[in-house]
Chain A
Amino acid sequence: MNRAAAPARAARRRAVPWDVVGLGLLVVAAAFMPDLLRALYDRAAVSYLSIAINALSLAILALSWDVLARTGQLSLAHAAFYGTGAYTTALMLRHLDLPMWLGIPAGGLMAVAFALLLGGLTLRLRAIYFAIATLAFAEVLKAVVHHAPTAFAGGNAGMNVAPLFRPVFVAGQMERWEVAYLRNEAYFYVYAGLLALSVLISIALQRSRLRHAFTAIRTNEDVAGVMGVRPARVKLLAFMLSASTVGMLGAVEAHRVGSVLPDQSFSVATTVLALVTPIFGGLYTTLGPIVGALGLSSVQELLRRTFSDGYLIGYGVVLVLTILFMPRGVVGTIGHAWRKRGSRSTGTPPASRPQRAGPAPDDAPPKPPSQPGGDA
């Protein structure tokens, strides 16, 4: 997946489209997973499915963040899109008499609309300013939701959201826990479908010419402009695609949790998870965020159970350590080692390194000038 080697090599490799094969395997695995878990673990499958759902959710979030990061933009607004999706479906349920399912695409569309608005205003900004502006936007949105009339959006107390699935308990034909199992199974398929969509978007972008536009913008926006890429447009497209899946995720999650609350739906924690996961797994790839989500969601379970407040500290530590010691992430580091090995065995110099997979620092720390003196 995503091996940006020299074009000739890439052309030869094209014979096996690993990304599509991977997606296919993912879909097949997901289709059998609930039944397999049930066959293996019986009633414990209920909680295993919940854990799997959390991992899927994290993967969707991470992949969405990565899509925007490929253009070099640091978004701190993912909590805003997530919350937008959650509140859209909750508001529709409360005020409109429409089928419940419509809330999910509507949540995605609403998030895209906000991305269009926010991106149109801020994507011309330099990276730092963009990051600050997106963080500010997320907090404004939270404040607005807090402040909105209680009769309309519930204020501080939030709103209840009906579950998407209500399996019925049939006495005599099934056991009690099977109700929970059926509910989790149904949610699992929804999340898996959403992840498949996210992967599809990511693969499509990696295979299209846009990938080079993204890389060009990330490397140097001005030069990209000279080469005929329109940075503002391309970034806006990435931002909208990124927001769409998060918005839908927020909507689905609102149904699963059963409520929306300003502080929970627009929590900074969402933004933190969205960015730590792909950085840990490996930026600018389809595989990286998924690997990161698998790794971190198992840690997350452990941390959340140990500390109720402050479990995010684990993510802070992972973020800092990754940036300092493994700036390419898990996938990038392994891939780099693999390519290095491959080139050594054939005796050729390493083929053009993939556009700095993961923002690698200039390896050595800056040396202070060794001259004495200077009365600072």
Chain B
Amino acid sequence: MIDPTLVLQALVSGILAAGLYALVSVGLALAIGVIGIVNFAHGEFFMVGAFLAYQAFVSFGIDPVFSLFLVAPALGLIGAGIYASTIRFVLKAPELNQMLLTFGIGIILQNLALLIWGGDPRTIAGIAYRSIGYQIGPVSVGLVPLASFAISLTLVLGLYWMLASTPTGRAMRAVAQNRVGAALVGLEVDRVYLVAFALSALLAGIGGVMIAVIQSPTPTIGLAFTLKAFAIVVVSGLGNVRGVLFASLVVAIAESMVATLVPNGDTLRNAVFFAIIFGVLVWRSRRVA
């Protein structure tokens, strides 16, 4: 018999994790939806964010809460730099080239991190708030996951608001709908793409800072998070930014349930994502065919 408290706990952990997943995936969805680039390097932005936060802590003693404000613009710049130096040149190239290019960028970022920080997990040690937790009824909730959920949700909702009602957001939606038309009415398409890609990297970087506090990341988490983000984006529909929040909930709760309820399920965590990607893709292809 399964313990109902355990199920409730798994549900709460799943919901809290969904915030971070949504934050990372929404950036990927933005890149796909607006620019039409399937970015295999997206998880690496997340990883770079985590390690910049770690380095800021080790070198200068900057608390992750504050380095958030340094890492985010740094990732925005990195994203903009990568777009301007590589991605803008393959926008009209075959899809295969685009995917391979971003895959190559991902390999470079990951191995650069391996060269700098090595393959061992890195922990930001000695932060007092890390161990704070609350007991609500039968469920215990850590302060850090709760805060990361709140920050992520705010940012994702902020992005939705930006897309819906600011000039930049409207420009992005216009370009996403019809690139030529948007250019004809006077939008600088290339600049919109640049902003969208930088924003996508920035959001992933903020997620990275949070994971550096929640877990002890290694330079190889990037790939896992690329796949997780793909799973969520695929569930919500490629390029659909709005569905990401709901898809993240589904995927994160499924992961949390399997990890808690299946015996020895923690090692199967990642398999859940891949199974979801797989299932949804195959189901979609059958429906279309």
**A136 engages B223 (CB within 8 Å):** no
**B88 engages A365 (CB within 8 Å):** yes
**B93 engages A310 (CB within 8 Å):** no
**B107 engages A315 (CB within 8 Å):** yes
**A272 engages B107 (CB within 8 Å):** yes
**B281 engages A362 (CB within 8 Å):** no
* Cross-chain contact of B92 among A74, A140, A366 (Cβ < 8 A): A366
A132 to B273 CA separation, bound complex (whole angstroms): 12
B104 at the A/B interface (Cβ < 8 Å)? yes
**B97 engages A327 (CB within 8 Å):** yes
**A275 engages B100 (CB within 8 Å):** yes
User: Which residues of chain B from 106 to 121 have a CB within 8 Å of any chain A CB?
Assistant: 106-108, 110-115, 118-119
Q: Give the residue name and chain of the A residue nearest to B220 (CB).
A: A268
A218 to B107 CA separation, bound complex (whole angstroms): 26
**A316 engages B108 (CB within 8 Å):** yes
A112 to B76 CA separation, bound complex (whole angstroms): 44
B105 at the A/B interface (Cβ < 8 Å)? yes
User: Which residues of chain A from 99 to 154 have a CB within 8 Å of any chain B CB?
Assistant: 121-122, 124-125, 127-129, 131-133, 135-137, 139-140, 143-144, 146-147
**Of residues A143, A272, A279, A307, which shows the largest number of chain B Cβ atoms within 10 Å of its Cβ?**
A143
**B100 engages A125 (CB within 8 Å):** no
Question: Inside 8 A of A268's CB, which chain B residues have their CB?
Answer: 223
**A361 engages B171 (CB within 8 Å):** no
Check A132/B114 contact, CB under 8 A, given A124-B285, A368-B191: no
Smallest distance from the beta carbon of B94 to chain A beta carbons, Å?
Answer: 4
Check A136/B274 contact, CB under 8 A, given A309-B119, A319-B107, A362-B92: yes
* Cross-chain contact of B95 among A127, A135, A146 (Cβ < 8 A): A127
**B86 engages A137 (CB within 8 Å):** no
User: Which residues of chain B from 267 to 289 have a CB within 8 Å of any chain A CB?
Assistant: 267-268, 270-271, 273-275, 277-278, 281-282, 284-285, 288-289
User: Which residues of chain B from 81 to 136 have a CB within 8 Å of any chain A CB?
Assistant: 86, 88-97, 99-101, 103-108, 110-115, 118-119
**A307 engages B115 (CB within 8 Å):** yes
Smallest distance from the beta carbon of A217 to chain B beta carbons, Å?
Answer: 13
A320 at the A/B interface (Cβ < 8 Å)? yes
**A127 engages B96 (CB within 8 Å):** yes
B234 at the A/B interface (Cβ < 8 Å)? yes
**B171 engages A122 (CB within 8 Å):** no
Question: Inside 8 A of A121's CB, which chain B residues have their CB?
Answer: 278, 282
**A309 engages B268 (CB within 8 Å):** no
B225 at the A/B interface (Cβ < 8 Å)? no
Q: Give the residue name and chain of the A residue nearest to B95 (CB).
A: A127
B238 at the A/B interface (Cβ < 8 Å)? yes
B189 at the A/B interface (Cβ < 8 Å)? yes
Q: Give the residue name and chain of the B residue nearest to A320 (CB).
A: B104
* Cross-chain contact of A369 among B105, B113, B119, B183 (Cβ < 8 A): B183
* Cross-chain contact of B189 among A69, A316, A365, A369 (Cβ < 8 A): A369
Q: Mark A350-376, 1 if CB is under 8 A from B, else 0.
A: 000000000111100110110101111
* Cross-chain contact of A131 among B99, B111, B264 (Cβ < 8 A): B99
A72 to B97 CA separation, bound complex (whole angstroms): 11
A20 at the A/B interface (Cβ < 8 Å)? no
**Of residues A127, A129, A362, which shows the largest number of chain B Cβ atoms within 10 Å of its Cβ?**
A129
**B274 engages A327 (CB within 8 Å):** no
Check A128/B99 contact, CB under 8 A, given A122-B282, A272-B107: yes
A189 at the A/B interface (Cβ < 8 Å)? no
A120 to B78 CA separation, bound complex (whole angstroms): 40
A154 to B189 CA separation, bound complex (whole angstroms): 54
Check A317/B108 contact, CB under 8 A, given A143-B267, A361-B89, A368-B189: yes
**B104 engages A376 (CB within 8 Å):** no
Smallest distance from the beta carbon of B43 to chain A beta carbons, Å?
Answer: 12
Check A316/B171 contact, CB under 8 A, given A122-B281, A359-B97, A361-B97: no
* Cross-chain contact of A128 among B38, B183, B231 (Cβ < 8 A): B38
Check A361/B92 contact, CB under 8 A, given A128-B99, A376-B192: yes
Smallest distance from the beta carbon of B199 to chain A beta carbons, Å?
Answer: 12
**B111 engages A316 (CB within 8 Å):** yes
**Of residues A74, A129, A136, A359, which shows the largest number of chain B Cβ atoms within 10 Å of its Cβ?**
A136
Smallest distance from the beta carbon of B47 to chain A beta carbons, Å?
Answer: 13
Question: Inside 8 A of A373's CB, which chain B residues have their CB?
Answer: 186
Smallest distance from the beta carbon of A28 to chain B beta carbons, Å?
Answer: 35
Q: Give the residue name and chain of the A residue nearest to B91 (CB).
A: A366
**A374 engages B171 (CB within 8 Å):** yes
A320 to B264 CA separation, bound complex (whole angstroms): 40
B4 at the A/B interface (Cβ < 8 Å)? no
Question: Inside 8 A of B113's CB, which chain A residues have their CB?
Answer: 310
Question: Inside 8 A of B110's CB, which chain A residues have their CB?
Answer: 312
* Cross-chain contact of B274 among A139, A272, A279, A315 (Cβ < 8 A): A139
Chain A to chain B contacts (Cβ below 8 Å), 10 pairs: A122-B281, A136-B277, A137-B278, A144-B271, A276-B104, A309-B118, A315-B107, A320-B105, A362-B93, A369-B190
B interface, CB within 8 angstroms of A? 38, 86, 88-97, 99-101, 103-108, 110-115, 118-119, 167-168, 171-172, 175, 183, 185-192, 195, 223, 227, 230-231, 234, 238, 264, 267-268, 270-271, 273-275, 277-278, 281-282, 284-285, 288-289
